[in-house]
Amino acid sequence: MITGKGMYIWIVQRCGEPKAIAQAAKAGGLSHMLVKIADGPFVYYGANDWNDHSRDWSMELVHALQAVGITVVGWQYVYGIQPEKEAEIAAQRIREGGIQLFDIDAEKEYKADGMKPKATAYCSRLKHLVPDVKLGLGTYRYPTYHATLPWAEFGQFMDFYMPQVYWAGAHNPVEQLGRCLREYAGLPYPNIPIYPTGAAYREFGWQPLSGEDTAFLTAARDLYHLGAANLWEWYDVKIVYPEFWDEISSFDYGSQPSVPQPPPSSVLPEYVLVNAPDGLNMRLTSSKTGQIVALLPNGRKLHVVGVQKDEDGKNRYQVYGYVASWLTKPL
C-alpha cells in the first residue's frame, strides 16, 4: 500500500509543468500523490476544460512522478449514471499509467435512492478489468451524516479508505480525525487501512490556522499510527498560498505500520452484539419510523459512536445509522 505524506492534485494544467511538479513534490518529502485521471465516464486530462485533450497533463504527471520515485494513486469522481462505463474508463487510464492504487471519489450523487446496485456494478466491473489494482474509497469523514451512501456495497471491494477529514469552518483537526476513525470502525467492512485527507485550502473566508496541518499529520502518525495521510490540494498549497507548503513540506511523516491501530474507545460500549434472530433494521434517523438503510444480521458487531432517544424515549444507538439498543448487548 502506501506510507508517508501525500497530496491530491486536481487540475494539473494550472499548476505548472508536470516534471517541475514532480521535482517539487520530491523536494517536499511527498511519498505519494493522488492524480485525477478520470471524471465519470470520461477520460480526464488534467486541463482547465475537462474535455480538452490537446495535451494529457494528468498522464504526463503520472509518469513524471513515477520517474522520481513517488507513488501515484489515480482517482476518479464517480456519478453512477453509467457505472460500468465509468469503470471501463478508469481501467483504461489505470493501464495507461501503470497505476497500482486507485481512489474512488463517491459523494452526493451516490446518496440518492437506487444507487446501491450501481455501486456494486461499478466496483465489480472495475475489479474484473484490473484485478490486481488496490481500490480505495475517498468520501465523507462521518458516515453517520451520510448513511444513504452505499457503504456496504462499496466496502466489500475496498482495500483501503481515504476519508475527507476537512475541518472547514472549524479549527479542531485532531478531534475530527478521531471521530472519523471511530465512525469508520463501525462500517460494514472495517479493519482495512485508513489514509485520511486533511484540509490545506481556503474557501469562503476560512483557512486552516498555522500549525493545524501539522497537528493533523502528527495525530495521524503518532496518535493513531496510520500508515499514510494526505492533504487537499496541490494548487492551493503550492501555487496560491505557499505558506501552506512551507509548513507541510517541513513535516517528516516517516514510515508507519500499514494497518492502523484502533482509535480510542468512547464512553459507550465499543462493540455491541445484535440480539435479533430475524436481523436488525438500521435507520437513517433515530425515529422508530425512520427510513431503513440496511438490515444487519444477527451477531453483527457494531461500533457505537452516539446515542439518541426515539419518540418513546427509548435509546437508539448510532453507528453509521441508528439501531434499537434494546436488541443489543455489550461484548
Model pLDDT, residue 277: 79
pTM for the structure as a whole: 0.83
Q: How far is CA 37 from CA 44, 97, 152, 202, in A?
A: 5, 9, 25, 24
Domains in the chain with CATH codes: 4-249 (3.20.20.80), 272-330 (2.30.30)
Model pLDDT, residue 268: 55
What radius of gyration, in Å, describes the C-alpha atoms of the chain? 20
Any idea what the Cα angle at residue 324 is, between residues 323 and 325, rounded to 5°?
105
Report the range of poorest mean pLDDT among 111-115, 199-203, 320-324.
Answer: 320-324
- Enumerate the H helices of 53-150 as residue ranges: 57-67, 83-97, 116-129
* Chain segment 35-79, per-residue pLDDT in tens: 999 999 999 999 998 778 899 999 999 999 999 999 999 999 999
Tell me the pLDDT band of 261, cut-offs 50, 70 and 90. very low
pLDDT at 331 over 70: no
Report the range of poorest mean pLDDT among 85-94, 109-118, 252-261.
Answer: 252-261
Q: How far is CA 210 from CA 14, 243, 258, 286, in A?
A: 25, 9, 28, 38
Rounded mean pLDDT of the chain? Answer: 90
Cβ within 8 Å of residue 217, ≥6 positions away: 5, 198, 229, 248, 251, 253
Q: How far is residue 94's CA from residue 275's CA, in Å, rounded to a whole number?
A: 44
Q: 99 or 1: which carries more pLDDT confidence?
A: 99
* Chain segment 159-186, per-residue pLDDT in tens: 999 999 999 999 999 999 999 999 999 9
* Chain segment 278-311, per-residue pLDDT in tens: 888 878 778 888 878 677 777 777 767 677 888 8
Tell me the pLDDT band of 219, cut-offs 50, 70 and 90. very high
Cβ within 8 Å of residue 108, ≥6 positions away: none
Model pLDDT, residue 320: 62
Report the range of poorest mean pLDDT among 85-94, 95-104, 183-192, 229-238.
Answer: 183-192
Cβ within 8 Å of residue 17, ≥6 positions away: none
Q: How far is residue 269's CA from residue 181's CA, in Å, rounded to a whole number?
A: 16
Q: How far is residue 221's CA from residue 256's CA, in Å, rounded to a whole number?
A: 7
Q: 209 or 299: which carries more pLDDT confidence?
A: 209
